[in-house]
Amino acid sequence: MVPIDTDLKFLSGVGPARAELLAKELGLRTLDDLIHFFPYRYLDRSRFYKIAEIDSTTSYIQVKGKITGYQITGEGRAKRLIAHFTDGGDTIDLIFFKGYQYITERYRVGTEYVVFGKPNCFNHTFSFVHPDIELPDPSRQVGFMPLYHTSEKLKNKYITSKTIQKYVYEAIRSTEVRVNETLPQDLIAKCQLMPLRNALVAIHFPRSAKELENARLRLKFEELFYIQLSILRQSSLHRNKYKGVVFEKVGGYFNDFYKKCLPFDLTNAQKRVLREIREDTRTGRQMNRLLQGDVGSGKTIVALMSMLLAVDNGCQTCILAPTEILAAQHYESISHMVEPLQLQVRLLTGSTKKKERETLHESLRDGSLQILVGTHAVLEDEVQFKNLGFVVIDEQHRFGVQQRSRMWLKNAVPPHVLVMTATPIPRTLAMTVYGDLDVSVIDELPPGRKPIKTMHVFENNRERLTQFMRSEIKQGRQIYVVYPLIEESEKSDMKNLMNGFSQMKELFPEYSVSMVHGKMKPAEKDAAMQLFVSGQAQILVATTVIEVGVNVPNASVMVIENAERFGLSQLHQLRGRVGRGADQSYCVLVSRYELGADTRKRLSIMTETNDGFEIAEADLKLRGPGDLDGTMQSGLPFDLQIANLSTDGLLLQQARGEVEKILAGDPLLAASEHTVLLDNLQRKTKGVVNWSSIS
Ligand code: ADP
Ligand code: MG
């Protein structure tokens, strides 16, 4: 038996030089790496095609027949070798641009061969360019042939997909390599999974589509299972290590607020989430909860009431927002709402003056400040609390997991953490990237909201848009006009923004137009923003700095310029800036006329639905999980090789369920049948920093 971590150079046909190249180009160092280097596609070798069957939809196929003769045509770079090939009925040309002598000597006229490849079409005639040619071998004519990615450098050294196939064949079929099963036997039996060794053989050399499917299923399950095991085990370890602050009672602040200050009835969804938080915080475990709710669903009030619960139990609390504008808005609305309760509420941001900051720090340390609203500035080490019991982080995607764990450290007993996001996260991601958080959802908007109407107009139809804007302003409404600003094209984006600003001023001379963008100083930005918030300016021209959280209920129109350049979730976030008052609101997506299929799809999803979850799912499908932003990618304990978060949701759920059952029965994985889990977990996640365990 050969150990699976044997260096590739010892595999027959490889040797030191090629091993080095494989390591450098494909990251393959051991037999194990090679066996886990899965094909990207398969060639249909389940039958021979007739040449007459070939049409423009034909993929990789095989035909059987004879070469009837060779011919060299063209001069210089157009020179080529043509082999005329017939299957007895029709003929097709095999075309070669190099290796003439080798080919004519190796492949004899009149001998029967099997030719593989994807037919090319040129001038309505099909041909094979540099196809693979083999003698018929009855033992290998069934099933599918694997195709592997290679690189130019490898191909130059004659390491082609076919060479890799041979190595893999050698490694898994011929060599007595020891493949240890990575899942417990009873789990395999219960979930009817293929044993690992069989799955690895079948993923490279499937004998049928069914077998391939089963192999893929098994390998995907394994990946998802270990992702879940890693996350859930960490959080259970964390839970055992840290006890949470116990909120024993619902006290005066909470009750008074509920009776006297609450300006509306809570929705059922809001009540449910409050109950969930109440349950968590009375148990003695530390809460880490993700609150998802579409823009405008009323997360702030839930956060505030949870904070009052903490204050009732003698704790300080704090809410973090990703921008100064948003922090200031939270500060104003919170201090306004709790005014009758006579609580100490303060704001801390990067622009808080030194003197003020000092007294603020002092009041945090002596415990007299009960509610702190702030930005990243709160994370600074010098900000110390006397007794921090509850932390709210608004708009999680701007804060990383690292920040969350920094807040844990602000108290001897880590505070409860409520993370709020308005970017609905598809379930699969919630279970993986945020897998250590419990999830609450507000899936109901406050009553009386009119769904926002969304339209898509082309740039060349601007006149109608202008008329529409004017009629809305005449009715007393305000309008956002948003431009993309992306770092790579910052200069031209900035120019677009400025042009847009002057254009608006020209088109609406009778009204006041304000502008904000990320390059402005905070004070300038606030002043410009204030013009719009106070209603002095009717139009706000902006970049995405307004994306997060700004609340201007009188704004009823969101015009998004160059809408084709925004992602779905960003468009949805921007749209959420309107529709906050009682009036009918509109979102207008302005794009150029020529659009790619994906972009067209994105824009049409926006006009079809207002449902954030639907949009998030569509977004994940369109972009694919490989394209998630950095924090999300790095949120995974290891990279997924075969499972796909956008399409394997059900399997993920199944895997998570199995992990939960195992951990419930054996939290430390101490049972002998679980040794295999600990070993593989360690192997798969080695070298990965796990932020949730930093303490
Ligand atoms: P988001 O979830 O986007 O943070 P907010 O908390 O800012 O939403 O709430 C949006 C608006 O809805 C606010 O003006 C808030 O006062 C209002 N609101 C929240 N809950 C309710 C409710 N139950 N009934 C009526 N209005 C509500
Ligand atoms: Mg909000």
Closest ligand 1 atom, residue 293 Cα: 2
Q: Roughly what angle, to the nearest 10 degrees, separates helices 196-204 and 209-241?
A: 130
Whether 264 is in the pocket of ligand 1, judged by its Cβ within 6 Å, is yes
- Mean residue pLDDT across the chain: 87
Whether 424 is in the pocket of ligand 1, judged by its Cβ within 6 Å, is no
Nearest CA, atom 17, ligand 1 = 298
Asked if residue 90 has pLDDT above 50, the reply is yes
**What distance in Å separates the CA atoms of residue 422 and residue 340, rounded to the nearest whole number?**
29
Whether 297 is in the pocket of ligand 1, judged by its Cβ within 6 Å, is yes
Q: Roughly what angle, to the nearest 10 degrees, separates helices 568-575 and 612-623?
A: 160
Tell me what the mean pLDDT of segment 396-425 comes to.
76
Least trusted range by pLDDT, from 86-90, 253-257, 277-281, 529-533: 529-533
pTM of the full predicted structure? 0.66
The residue to mutate among 257, 291, 297, having the most atoms of ligand 1 within 8 angstroms of its beta carbon, is 297
Nearest CA, atom 24, ligand 1 = 446
Backbone φ and ψ for 376, nearest 5 degrees, come out as -50, -25
Output the DSSP codes for 35-98. HT---SEEEE-SSPPPGGG--TT--SEEEEEEEEEEEEE-SGGG-EEEEEEE-SS-EEEEEESS
The predicted pLDDT at position 107 comes to 95
Q: How confident is the model at residue 307 (pLDDT cuts 50, 70, 90)?
A: very high
Output the DSSP codes for 384-452. --SSEEEEEEESGGGS-HHHHHHHHTTSSSPPEEEEEESS---HHHHHHTTTTSEEEEE--PPTTPPPP
CB of 234 closer than 8 Å to CB of 682? no
- pLDDT digits over 125-166, tens only? 899 988 989 888 776 656 788 989 999 999 999 999 989 999
Tell me what the mean pLDDT of segment 424-445 comes to.
77
- The closest ligand to the CA of 302 turns out to be 1
The residue to mutate among 266, 267, 291, 301, having the most atoms of ligand 1 within 8 angstroms of its beta carbon, is 301
Percent of the chain with pLDDT over 70: 92
Whether 507 is in the pocket of ligand 1, judged by its Cβ within 6 Å, is no
Please give the helix or strand (H or E) that residue 695 lies within, else none.
none
Structure tokens at 148: 């592997």
CB of 8 closer than 8 Å to CB of 14? yes
Tell me what the mean pLDDT of segment 32-40 comes to.
92
CB of 150 closer than 8 Å to CB of 164? yes
- The closest ligand to the CA of 294 turns out to be 1
- The closest ligand to the CA of 327 turns out to be 2
Place of tokens 């079948």: 202
Whether 299 is in the pocket of ligand 1, judged by its Cβ within 6 Å, is yes
Place of tokens 């191909």: 155
Q: How confident is the model at residue 547 (pLDDT cuts 50, 70, 90)?
A: low
**What distance in Å separates the CA atoms of residue 106 and residue 290, rounded to the nearest whole number?**
65
Nearest CA, atom 10, ligand 1 = 296
Please give the helix or strand (H or E) that residue 237 lies within, else none.
helix 209-241
For residues 618 and 58, which has the higher predicted lDDT (pLDDT)? Answer: 618
Domains and CATH numbers, the chain: 47-142 (2.40.50.140), 267-281+298-421 (3.40.50.300), 453-609 (3.40.50.300)
- pLDDT digits over 327-381, tens only? 988 999 999 999 999 999 999 999 899 999 999 999 999 999 999 999 989 988 8
- pLDDT digits over 482-509, tens only? 998 877 778 888 888 999 999 999 999 9
- pLDDT digits over 207-216, tens only? 877 888 899 9
Distance 495 CA to ligand 2 centre (A): 31
Closest CA to 485 of 537, 573, 562, 423: 562
- pLDDT digits over 441-495, tens only? 898 888 888 889 999 999 888 899 999 999 999 999 999 999 988 777 788 888 8
Taking the alpha carbons of 334, 339, 340, 342 in that order, is the dihedral positive or negative? positive
Q: How many CA atoms lie less than 13 Å away from 495 in the CB half-sphere?
A: 3
Whether 217 is in the pocket of ligand 1, judged by its Cβ within 6 Å, is no
Least trusted range by pLDDT, from 58-67, 228-237, 421-430, 659-668: 421-430
Q: How confident is the model at residue 52 (pLDDT cuts 50, 70, 90)?
A: very high
Least trusted range by pLDDT, from 196-210, 263-277, 345-359: 196-210
Output the DSSP codes for 496-559. HHHHHHHHHHHH-TTS-EEEE-TTS-HHHHHHHHHHHHTTS-SEEEE-GGGTTT---TTEEEEE
The predicted pLDDT at position 635 comes to 58
Structure tokens at 350: 């990067």
Task: Check residue 588 and report its DSSP letter.
Answer: E
Closest CA to 321 of 289, 351, 347: 347
**What distance in Å separates the CA atoms of residue 649 and residue 645, rounded to the nearest whole number?**
6
